[in-house]
Amino acid sequence: MERIKVLIIDDSTLICHVITEIISADSAFEVVGAAHDPYEAREMIKELKPDVLTLDIEMPKMDGITFLRNLMRLHPLPVIMLSTFTAKGTDETLTALAIGAIDYMPKPLTGAQGMAISDFAEELKEKIKAAASLKNKIVMRLPPAQRPQSPSILKSLNLESSIGQKIIAIGASTGGTEALQEVLSVLPKDIPPIVIAQHISASFSARLAKRIDEKSTISVIEATDGLTLEQGVAYFAPGGCHLKVERSGTILKCRVEDSALVNRHKPSVGVLFDSLIAANVETAIAVLLTGMGNDGAEAMLRLKREGAYTVAQDEESSLIWGMPGSAVKLGAVVDVLPLEKISQALVGRFKTQ
């Protein structure tokens, strides 16, 4: 099997050395070079023709965001961002994902918020393999103002205030930050409560919620333990914690737990979906968006068997058709839809006749 060619772009000699050692130890990969600034990287891309890039954000001569914009315009390639988990690093990483980066990783050796090297190594290799499979699918993402707009559905549903009886649960991973924005930003302000498990690190969830909130009619916030679920509000699971829905009489509330990984994730989509069954939600909708792996697929099947309406993003519009594809293969999905039609489908379930 042909090895995956990786080019590392980072101004830190230490980081380049660590990543080179990790990747080179696996026969599935070949490190073809390490560039210490974007200008050097540009020449190495032309000469070495890598399959995947790892890209630092803060570099001399040209920052990673500017380089990524130019790359996606002139020579689109799968890119995994390596970020320090500072406020600035978080915002710029989210910008990179919007521009066209496939995924992100925390830099190793970054203190308390960094990852253990063994965990970093396994996750990095998994993400590089997934990125390499997308080499012919990478295109520059248009700025939001130039993207085709979904039909306007920002109209009141005229729902009765039956808070606690209706709920939408959404799970996402790789590519999900942009997919979630597309779904949430066009929903009406009286849509039933929405709970979200996006595979994301602790320093990202609140900022991601804030970015989507600024572009939406509904309120989008990071969940906190004990919050009562309300119409017109979407609740993100905090990165590094599970989010569950729990019933208290006729009211549904958020339960945030810092417990063990489930399906190798925290937050886990499966944990969120299963909590809807335990809470005996009257009307439940479950949605699986783009992402690696199979988290949430089996729990979605259990929800479907309980009468829930279940939706999976289709393969063509998914960056990675892992999670939604797994649910489809299990027979857990009522409708398989392109991303741009999922919002309409959700609204259609609640529109008054």
Q: What is the mean pLDDT of the chain?
A: 90
- Domain stops at, among 99, 117, 137: 137
**Across 243-256, average pLDDT:** 95
| 272 within some domain | yes
pLDDT of 246 reads 97
pLDDT of 96 reads 94
Q: Domains in the chain: how many in total?
A: 2
Using a pLDDT cut of 70, give the percent of the chain over it.
90
- Domain stops at, among 137, 155, 175: 137
**Across 246-272, average pLDDT:** 95
pLDDT of 67 reads 96
pLDDT confidence band for 107 (50 / 70 / 90): confident
| 198 within some domain | yes
Q: Name the residue with tokens 């649960």.
A: 169
Identify the bridge partners of residue 225 per DSSP, sorted by sequence position.
none
CATH, residue 107? 3.40.50.2300
- Domain stops at, among 137, 154, 183: 137
pLDDT of 159 reads 66
Q: Residues 88, 173: one domain?
A: no
Q: Report the 3 state secondary structure along the chain.
A: CCCEEEEEECCCHHHHHHHHHHHHCCCCEEEEEEECCHHHHHHHHHHHCCCEEEEECCCCCCCHHHHHHHHHHHCCCCEEEEECCCHHHHHHHHHHHHHCCCEEEECCCCHHHCCCHHHHHHHHHHHHHHHHCCHHHCCCCCCHHHCCCCCCCCCCCCCCCCCCCEEEEEEECCCHHHHHHHHHCCCCCCCCCEEEEECCCCCCHHHHHHHHHCCCCCEEEECCCCCECCCCEEEECCCCCEEEEEEECCEEEEEEECCCCECCECCCHHHHHHHHHHCCCCEEEEEECCECCCCCHHHHHHHHHCCCEEEEECCCCCCCECHHHHHHHHCCCCEEECHHHHHHHHHHCCCCC
Q: Residues 198, 305: one domain?
A: yes
In the residue annotation, 295 being an active-site residue is answered as yes
Q: Residues 114, 189: one domain?
A: no
- Taking only the tens place, the pLDDT of each residue in 184-206 is 999 999 999 999 999 998 889 99
Q: Residues 112, 177: one domain?
A: no
| 148 within some domain | no
pLDDT confidence band for 157 (50 / 70 / 90): confident
**Across 205-224, average pLDDT:** 96
Estimate to the nearest angstrom the gap between the alpha carbon of 256 and the chain centroid.
19
**Across 280-296, average pLDDT:** 96
pLDDT confidence band for 38 (50 / 70 / 90): very high
pLDDT confidence band for 145 (50 / 70 / 90): very low
Tokens matching residue 247: 């019933």
Q: Residues 68, 176: one domain?
A: no
Which of 199, 268, 314, 343 is labelled catalytic?
199
| 160 within some domain | no
Domain ranges, residue 68? 4-137
Q: Residues 309, 241: one domain?
A: yes
Task: Report the phi/psi class of residue 109: left, alpha or beta, with left for phi > 0 and alpha for psi in -120 to 50.
Answer: left
Q: Residues 30, 176: one domain?
A: no
pLDDT of 353 reads 41
In the residue annotation, 75 being an active-site residue is answered as no
| Number of neighbouring beta carbons within 10 Å of residue 298 | 17
- β-strand pairing of 52-56 with 4-9: parallel
Tokens matching residue 313: 């993003």
Which of 12, 83, 173, 268 is labelled catalytic?
173
Using a pLDDT cut of 90, give the percent of the chain over it.
77
Which of 10, 51, 274, 295 is labelled catalytic?
295
In the residue annotation, 199 being an active-site residue is answered as yes
Q: Residues 320, 177: one domain?
A: yes
| 161 within some domain | no
| 336 within some domain | yes
Q: Residues 113, 250: one domain?
A: no
Q: Residues 20, 99: one domain?
A: yes
| 191 within some domain | yes
| 292 within some domain | yes
Burial of 258 (0-12, 13-18, 19+ CB in 10 A): exposed
pLDDT of 137 reads 74
Identify the bridge partners of residue 167 per DSSP, sorted by sequence position.
284
